[in-house]
Chain A
Amino acid sequence: MLTQAKQQGVIKKNHLIIPSFSRRHFLKGLICSACAPYSLSAPIKLELEKVKLYSAATDHKGDHWLVIANAKGETLNQLRLPSRAHQVFKHPSLPLLCVVARRPGKYLSLVHLNTGTLIKTISPSKGYHFYGHGLFTHDGRYLVTSENHIESGEGRITIRDRLSEFSIVYQYDSQGIGPHEIKLSTDGLVLVVANGGIKTHPDKGREKLNLNTMRPSLVYLELLTGKLLEKVSLPKQLHQLSIRHIDINHHDQVVIAMQYQGDITDQVALMGTHNRGEDIRLLNAPINSYLAMKHYCGSVCFDFSGMYAAATSPKGNRVTIWDTVKGNIIDELRCRDACGVAALGKQGFMVSSGAGKLYHYNIEHKEIKQLLPQSLLTNSSQMEPQIYTQIHSKRMAWDNHLSISI
């Protein structure tokens, strides 16, 4: 399996065979935004009408918010946050949202889904900080977060009980440094952790302290005990590929979106999948597709079928679509500062961007369309500049992750 990974992962140092530019066709562009909403098919429109989005966002003044919006990006509720947040996720049955501060995270807020009001703010225990990700267990009772034990620099998983005012009931080793995104297996008993491998210390801000020795891993832990069930890493020469963001499908296959910390000219794969008991399989893509992702994936998710995954690369302005069964890229699109991505029921994906835009990606037609708020859809040029400016300035930069519910 190791050889397979070597073959599939592009592991070349400072070395490149250049395809001629003229032989390469331009990336498929984005379709005219203003017309887009009218040409969406009926089932997609239906899905979009029901949908609610949750995301951290930052306005033009640099203030940070939790935003609850409809599919056009029109704000339904918003809550001012003390600092930049990362992931927002919904409770499986209650109208409850959880928003986690970005690393080194100092807070986690629980918010009423329908009103946007703050219910409770939780601080990490002394000597710990959040990494920006978490989840509710399938039964809705426990809140699970990835955290840093600052003194040792080791990753921790903390479990808080909703029925006892979110007090900590379990805490265990994440079996690696820098645990980032976490997911639960279909049966809800196994916690999958992406240990990014990068050591940071709050005193040194976001500086990366161990790039030469980092060793990221994907681990499977028994949820309630923390018992290590399986730990996989990439081949040693890829130790600077940080395993950061993951999603899991109903076959418990994990898709991995990575960030490379090595030389800027190295050619490396950034996407992989993993099944229990196997090695990590790196996904195939033409070298220019990987290069265009600029060594950086921001977010990843499966579609409803679990066959396809969408990944975002804001540094490269790319959205890439992957066939996780065949193990290769099937589409790539240019989309400025795209980062948040979520499955839209059975209708493909939604993508959010730092430019404040929302898009829908249709897997069947392989096309992406921008979704516009009504206020910007009609006669923007006939508006008074001041009024237009007011509306426009409310268009927030959508942060790293997008969550939706239907």
Chain B
Amino acid sequence: MRFFSALNSVLDLQINQLQLGSSVDAKPARFNALFLAVCIFSICAIGYANDSNAAINSDQTVHLMADQNEAAWRIFNIETVENYVIPSYKNLANANSNLYLATQAFCKILKSSSIVQLQENLTITKKAFNRSMDAWQLIQNVHFGPIEIGIRHHSIQFWPDKKNHIGKQLNRLITAKNEASLTVDGFEKNSVSVKGLPAVERLLFNDAPLEMFKEKPFTCEVLQGISRYLSDTATSLHDEWVTTMLPQFKDAKQLDGYFEDDIDATTALLKTLVEPIEVIRDLKIDRPLGSKFEKVKFKRLESWRSQRSLTNLQLNLQSLEDFFIGTDSERKGLQSLLTRNETAEIQNNFKLVKNEIAKIKVPLEEAIQTDAGYRTAKNISIALTQLHKSLEDAIGHSGIRLGFNSRDGD
């Protein structure tokens, strides 16, 4: 066992070095590197039979079972983490750090500046918020790993907020005017509902934000406190993925590892591609639409205050499609392990969803209150169901079961 583990890590190290090299070099070098990697796998096949069939399916009509094709899936895992997950968290960390800077700049001039100047700064801060929400929508689909610790997913975005926790808790925090609740340690103890982006949205996008900040200057302290937390959290998530998670994907079978094997690691990743599609459909579309047109509730949309619910959807779809196709130059996303027909069908389904989204020309908050917009939103929902099914079927054909008891228990 130890021998194999050691062998694996040596192998991975070599592959990584090769791949690191290739990411800078031109394509032929990349090809050589892969060829070499395959050779190394073949040599080691005597000792570690499972890895000998590193192969991809794209030119095939029949699937190799994932168990039998572990090495190829491992490459997919590492590519996805290195080129999709980690850069997305990096993007979020940068955006949130800018948001923190923007809120600091805004609050600093709150007392001294003219209304015009404040308006300008508020606009800058709102833009910074939008960049943070953009970045979050691109990685919102990842629910496992570091983000599970301390329910940080909910801290970054407490939504849907069915009982108006955010409103109540935010009010409490502002009226208490307790400086200690905004220190790094003190902030951790606050309710999860006030820690994240929806709380920032409430402060920046309301009827009279400037009056509010002027009348209750502590509100600006709260705004900065939340932004600092968002910045720190995103930086930690990125660092934890680099230092703690990435090695788990490089050697999934290591003793005391996070995963059972490569396919277990693959399953965790693929769940972040497939399951969010149902969540997006159920929470971001079907719930606001209600059972019929008369029951539509636009305030159930994800970011109705900042009128960016449609943008969120577009970014979600873009992110999932990137995951599917692959963000590196080799396009080693999930599609590289599926058959041609499956890939074509899934890509077509992505297109259908995007086409429906593109039909909406005004903010979704307004669109769903019109007959035509409501119908289009319903069609987005239907297209998402179709996309979900095609992905789940293709993954199922590869012998990977995303969940059974975990999805429908008793």
- Is B244 engaged at the interface, CB distance under 8 Å to the other chain? yes
Determine whether the beta carbon of B405 is less than 8 Å from that of A339: yes
Q: How far is the CA of A168 from the CA of B173 in the complex (A)?
A: 61
Determine whether the beta carbon of A336 is less than 8 Å from that of B267: yes
Smallest CB gap from A370: residue in B: B260
B408 to nearest A CB, angstroms?
8
Determine whether the beta carbon of A132 is less than 8 Å from that of B404: no
Q: How far is the CA of A336 from the CA of B401 in the complex (A)?
A: 10
Map CB proximity to A onto B69-84 as digits: 1 under 8 Å, 0 otherwise: 0000000000000000
B232 to nearest A CB, angstroms?
11
Specify which chain A residues have a CB less than 8 angstroms from the CB of B149 in the assembled complex. 18-19, 21, 24, 288
Pick from B188-196, B202-210, B347-355 the stretch touching chain A.
B188-196
- Is B4 engaged at the interface, CB distance under 8 Å to the other chain? yes
Q: How many A-B residue pairs have CB under 8 A?
A: 161
Q: Contacts A14-B192, A314-B405 known; A102 to B410 CB distance under 8 Å?
A: yes
Map CB proximity to B onto A223-238 as digits: 1 under 8 Å, 0 otherwise: 0000000000000000
Smallest CB gap from B4: residue in A: A32
Determine whether the beta carbon of A317 is less than 8 Å from that of B406: yes
Determine whether the beta carbon of B404 is less than 8 Å from that of A337: yes
Smallest CB gap from A313: residue in B: B406
- Is A41 engaged at the interface, CB distance under 8 Å to the other chain? no
Specify which chain A residues have a CB less than 8 angstroms from the CB of B409 in the assembled complex. 296, 298, 314-315, 339, 400
Smallest CB gap from B254: residue in A: A29
- Is B399 engaged at the interface, CB distance under 8 Å to the other chain? yes
CB neighbors of A among B45-65 (8 A): 45, 49-53, 62-65
Determine whether the beta carbon of A354 is less than 8 Å from that of B403: yes
Determine whether the beta carbon of A58 is less than 8 Å from that of B404: yes
Determine whether the beta carbon of A381 is less than 8 Å from that of B49: yes
Map CB proximity to B onto A322-362 as digits: 1 under 8 Å, 0 otherwise: 00000000000011111100000000000001111000000
Determine whether the beta carbon of A381 is less than 8 Å from that of B62: no
Determine whether the beta carbon of B151 is less than 8 Å from that of A16: yes
Smallest CB gap from A86: residue in B: B410
Determine whether the beta carbon of B260 is less than 8 Å from that of A30: yes
Determine whether the beta carbon of B260 is less than 8 Å from that of A17: no
CB neighbors of A among B131-167 (8 A): 146, 148-152, 154-155, 158, 163, 165
Determine whether the beta carbon of A388 is less than 8 Å from that of B65: yes
Q: Contacts A18-B188, A28-B256, A31-B255 known; A354 to B68 CB distance under 8 Å?
A: no
Determine whether the beta carbon of A14 is less than 8 Å from that of B1: no
- Is B264 engaged at the interface, CB distance under 8 Å to the other chain? yes
A283 to nearest B CB, angstroms?
20
Specify which chain B residues have a CB less than 8 angstroms from the CB of A353 in the assembled complex. 405
Q: How far is the CA of A243 from the CA of B288 in the complex (A)?
A: 33
Determine whether the beta carbon of B404 is less than 8 Å from that of A16: no
Which of A18, A379, A382, A386 meets B62, CB within 8 Å? A386
- Is B169 engaged at the interface, CB distance under 8 Å to the other chain? yes
A290 to nearest B CB, angstroms?
11
- Is A125 engaged at the interface, CB distance under 8 Å to the other chain? no
Q: How far is the CA of A291 from the CA of B62 in the complex (A)?
A: 41
Determine whether the beta carbon of B189 is less than 8 Å from that of A354: no
Q: How far is the CA of A19 from the CA of B410 in the complex (A)?
A: 31
Determine whether the beta carbon of B151 is less than 8 Å from that of A291: yes
Q: How far is the CA of A399 from the CA of B155 in the complex (A)?
A: 33
Q: Contacts A265-B192, A354-B405 known; A380 to B68 CB distance under 8 Å?
A: yes
Q: How far is the CA of A388 from the CA of B67 in the complex (A)?
A: 9
Specify which chain B residues have a CB less than 8 angstroms from the CB of A28 in the assembled complex. 256
Map CB proximity to B onto A306-328 as digits: 1 under 8 Å, 0 otherwise: 00000000110100000000000
Determine whether the beta carbon of A399 is less than 8 Å from that of B191: no
A375 to nearest B CB, angstroms?
12
Specify which chain B residues have a CB less than 8 angstroms from the CB of A119 in the assembled complex. none
Determine whether the beta carbon of A60 is less than 8 Å from that of B396: yes
Q: Contacts A265-B192, A337-B405, A392-B67 known; A14 to B258 CB distance under 8 Å?
A: no
- Is B290 engaged at the interface, CB distance under 8 Å to the other chain? no
- Is A275 engaged at the interface, CB distance under 8 Å to the other chain? no
Q: Contacts A60-B396, A380-B67 known; A32 to B405 CB distance under 8 Å?
A: no
Specify which chain A residues have a CB less than 8 angstroms from the CB of B201 in the assembled complex. none
Determine whether the beta carbon of B65 is less than 8 Å from that of A337: no
- Is A292 engaged at the interface, CB distance under 8 Å to the other chain? yes
- Is A114 engaged at the interface, CB distance under 8 Å to the other chain? no
- Is B388 engaged at the interface, CB distance under 8 Å to the other chain? no
Determine whether the beta carbon of A18 is less than 8 Å from that of B150: yes
A184 to nearest B CB, angstroms?
21
Determine whether the beta carbon of B258 is less than 8 Å from that of A400: no
Determine whether the beta carbon of B410 is less than 8 Å from that of A29: no
- Is B257 engaged at the interface, CB distance under 8 Å to the other chain? yes
- Is B261 engaged at the interface, CB distance under 8 Å to the other chain? yes
Determine whether the beta carbon of B191 is less than 8 Å from that of A336: no
Q: How far is the CA of A383 from the CA of B53 in the complex (A)?
A: 11
Determine whether the beta carbon of A292 is less than 8 Å from that of B148: yes
- Is A164 engaged at the interface, CB distance under 8 Å to the other chain? no
Which of B165, B236, B248 meets A21, CB within 8 Å? B236
Specify which chain B residues have a CB less than 8 angstroms from the CB of A292 in the assembled complex. 148
Specify which chain B residues have a CB less than 8 angstroms from the CB of A60 in the assembled complex. 396, 401
Determine whether the beta carbon of B191 is less than 8 Å from that of A14: yes
Q: How far is the CA of A296 from the CA of B62 in the complex (A)?
A: 38
- Is A2 engaged at the interface, CB distance under 8 Å to the other chain? no
7 A-B pairs, CB-CB below 8 angstroms?
A21-B244, A26-B256, A26-B257, A32-B255, A354-B405, A356-B401, A386-B62
A21-B150, A339-B409 provided; 12 other pairs, C-beta below 8 A?
Answer: A14-B169, A29-B259, A31-B1, A35-B4, A39-B1, A58-B404, A265-B158, A376-B67, A380-B68, A381-B52, A385-B65, A399-B405
Chain A interfacial positions (CB closer than 8 Å to B): 14-19, 21-22, 24, 26-35, 39, 58, 60, 86, 102-103, 132, 180, 263-265, 288, 291-292, 296, 298, 314-315, 317, 334-339, 353-356, 370, 376, 379-383, 385-386, 388-389, 392-393, 397, 399-400
Chain B interfacial positions (CB closer than 8 Å to A): 1, 4-5, 45, 49-53, 62-65, 67-68, 146, 148-152, 154-155, 158, 163, 165, 169, 188-193, 236, 240, 244, 248, 253-261, 264, 267, 396, 399, 401, 403-406, 409-410
What are the 9 A-B residue pairs with the smallest beta carbon separation, nearest first? A354-B404, A18-B150, A339-B405, A29-B257, A314-B405, A397-B404, A354-B405, A314-B406, A30-B260
